[in-house]
């Protein structure tokens, strides 16, 4: 069965000259804005006393990318580490779970997965204003553009194949291993997750979008039977992967904030966003593969990529996968709404909020169409 592809037509496909180069926009670091500034002396004390680092030469810069939890590169002498903290201000309940993220990173790294080496978690908000954690800095390449410009087709294909394989291996962890990674939670993941994103959307709503209310009801009504819970990432994509400096291997996977026990099909459907995402119809976005000649680029189409995932797991593609795509699209629309709300209230971790309110409505419309494929 071919996977249903969204109907992406002219209103949503930006002209080439209008597409924003996400690599140029998000790559590297910058001086933190006033609201996200870290007092060096307070951090230096932690680095000296808890990690034994030389802080005589301390440099702190914020990574440009990311919209949820502000993340910083910290250079203490010859040592480079990464600091990630909850944002300041009034936050959406249940979001920004960096304590859980640090626990997952620690457990995965101990089991040989490509996760940064954990160093320290600090709950004390009196030090930097909010809780934070520290991990080793992983050198490598982060690609913000899904079409991997500047690489040859063979390297592109190898990166996508490695990304696919990692997700399949994560989802294939045995239950005995998962028990050590994340605690069991009651109830069906899809039902619980749908309720969570309904709540987050309601708390973040800035405009009336009828399709979002419709989807909340239709997704609940069409919910398939619960699947066995596996270890899921929650926001797995090229933008959260560090590729080796030389080669196509995965050096580290980042942003485990939403990692939990859950439905592998939801995690896969969200991961397929590069294929189904709508480029911003005003600003454009090269995070989407829509409208590109994938064969020439050496990147598999969505159906082939999904087939590879199921092959890597030794499974058959389910006939109701359209439900999971629609669910992921609804959830992504709610995520964007959360970003827009944080931007409106001044708590966004990045100055670069490319999303527009119209984008939420467009993705919601796509999700309605996808769900109709059932």
Residue numbers of the domain that contains 111: 28-136
pLDDT band of 18, cuts 50, 70, 90: very low
In a domain, 129, yes or no: yes
Buried b (16+ CB within 10 A) or exposed e, 189-223: bbeebbebbbebbebbbeeebebbeebbebbeeee
Q: How far apart are CA 301 and CA 2, in angstroms?
A: 11
Mean pLDDT of 39-62: 96
Please report the pLDDT score of residue 92 as a whole number: 56
Among 1-15, 23-37, 103-117, 234-248, the range scoring the smallest mean pLDDT is: 1-15
Among 144-148, 256-260, 287-291, 359-363, the range scoring the smallest mean pLDDT is: 287-291
Task: Decide: 111 and 168 in contact? Cβ < 8 Å.
Answer: no
Q: How do residues 146-164 score in pLDDT, each as one tens digit?
A: 999 999 999 999 999 999 9
CATH of the domain at 46: 3.30.200.20
* Closest of 177, 186, 187, 307 to residue 231, by C-alpha: 177
Instruction: Return phi, psi of residue 57, to 5°.
Output: -125, 100
Q: How do residues 74-91 score in pLDDT, each as one tens digit?
A: 999 999 999 999 888 655
* Length reported for the chain: 374
Count CA within 13 A, CB hemisphere, residue 174: 3
Please report the pLDDT score of residue 201 as a whole number: 92
Q: How far apart are CA 357 and CA 225, in angstroms?
A: 33
Please report the pLDDT score of residue 64 as a whole number: 81
- C-alpha angle with apex 367: 361 to 371, nearest 5 degrees? 150
Contacts of 110 (CB under 8 A, 6+ apart): none
Among 132-146, 224-238, 268-282, 317-331, the range scoring the smallest mean pLDDT is: 268-282
In a domain, 321, yes or no: no
Mean pLDDT of 124-148: 94
In a domain, 86, yes or no: yes
Domain total in the chain: 1
Buried b (16+ CB within 10 A) or exposed e, 123-156: eeeebbbbbbbbbebbebbbbbbbbbeebeeeeb
In a domain, 314, yes or no: no
Please report the pLDDT score of residue 13 as a whole number: 42
Q: How do residues 295-326 score in pLDDT, each as one tens digit?
A: 999 999 999 999 999 999 999 999 999 999 99
Please report the pLDDT score of residue 287 as a whole number: 73
Does the pLDDT of residue 283 top 60, yes or no? no
In a domain, 154, yes or no: no
Mean pLDDT of 341-364: 70
Six-digit token pair at 73? 């590169």
With a pLDDT cut of 90, the percent of the chain lying above it is 64
Six-digit token pair at 225? 């039977």
Q: How far apart are CA 130 and CA 88, in angstroms?
A: 7
Contacts of 198 (CB under 8 A, 6+ apart): 216, 334
First to last CA, the chain: 12
In a domain, 45, yes or no: yes
Contacts of 35 (CB under 8 A, 6+ apart): 88, 89, 346
- Comparison of pLDDT for 43 and 180, the residue scoring more: 43
Q: Which residue has the tokens 């990318």?
A: 65
In a domain, 106, yes or no: yes
Task: Decide: 90 and 4 in contact? Cβ < 8 Å.
Answer: no
Please report the pLDDT score of residue 344 as a whole number: 75
In a domain, 357, yes or no: no
């Amino acid at each position: 069965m071919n996977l249903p592809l969204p109907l992406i037509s002219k209103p949503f496909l930006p002209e080439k000259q209008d597409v924003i180069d996400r690599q140029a926009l998000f790559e590297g670091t910058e001086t933190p804005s006033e609201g996200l500034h870290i007092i060096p002396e307070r951090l230096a004390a932690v680095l000296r006393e808890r990690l034994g680092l030389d802080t005589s030469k301390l440099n702190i810069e914020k990574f440009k990318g990311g919209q949820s939890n502000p993340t910083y590169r910290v250079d203490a002498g010859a040592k480079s580490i990464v600091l990630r903290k909850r944002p300041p201000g009034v936050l959406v309940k249940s979001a920004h779970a960096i304590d859980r993220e640090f626990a997952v990173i620690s457990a995965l790294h101990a089991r040989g997965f490509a996760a940064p080496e954990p160093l320290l978690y600090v709950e004390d908000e009196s030090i930097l204003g909010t809780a934070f954690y520290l991990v080793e800095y992983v050198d490598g390449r982060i690609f913000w553009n899904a079409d991997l410009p500047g690489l040859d087709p063979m390297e592109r294909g190898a990166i996508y194949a490695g990304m696919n394989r990692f997700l399949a291996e994560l989802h294939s962890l045995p239950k005995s291993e998962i028990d050590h990674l994340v605690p069991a939670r009651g109830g069906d993941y899809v039902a619980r997750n749908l309720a969570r994103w309904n709540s987050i959307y309601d708390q973040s709503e800035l405009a009336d979008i009828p399709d979002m209310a419709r989807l909340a009801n239709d997704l609940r009504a069409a919910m398939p039977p619960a699947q066995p819970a596996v270890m899921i990432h929650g926001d797995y994509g090229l933008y959260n992967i560090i590729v080796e400096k030389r080669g196509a291997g995965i050096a580290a996977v980042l942003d485990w904030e939403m990692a939990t026990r859950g439905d592998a099909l939801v995690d896969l459907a969200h991961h397929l966003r590069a294929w189904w995402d709508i480029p911003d119809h005003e600003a454009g976005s090269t995070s989407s593969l829509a409208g590109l000649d994938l064969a020439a680029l050496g990147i598999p189409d969505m159906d082939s990529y999904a087939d590879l995932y199921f092959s890597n797991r030794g499974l058959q593609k389910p006939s109701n996968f359209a439900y999971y795509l629609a669910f992921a699209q609804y959830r992504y629309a709610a995520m964007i709404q959360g970003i827009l709300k944080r931007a409106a209230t001044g708590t966004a971790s990045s100055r670069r909020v490319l999303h527009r309110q119209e984008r939420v409505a467009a993705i919601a419309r796509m999700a309605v169409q996808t769900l109709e494929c059932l």
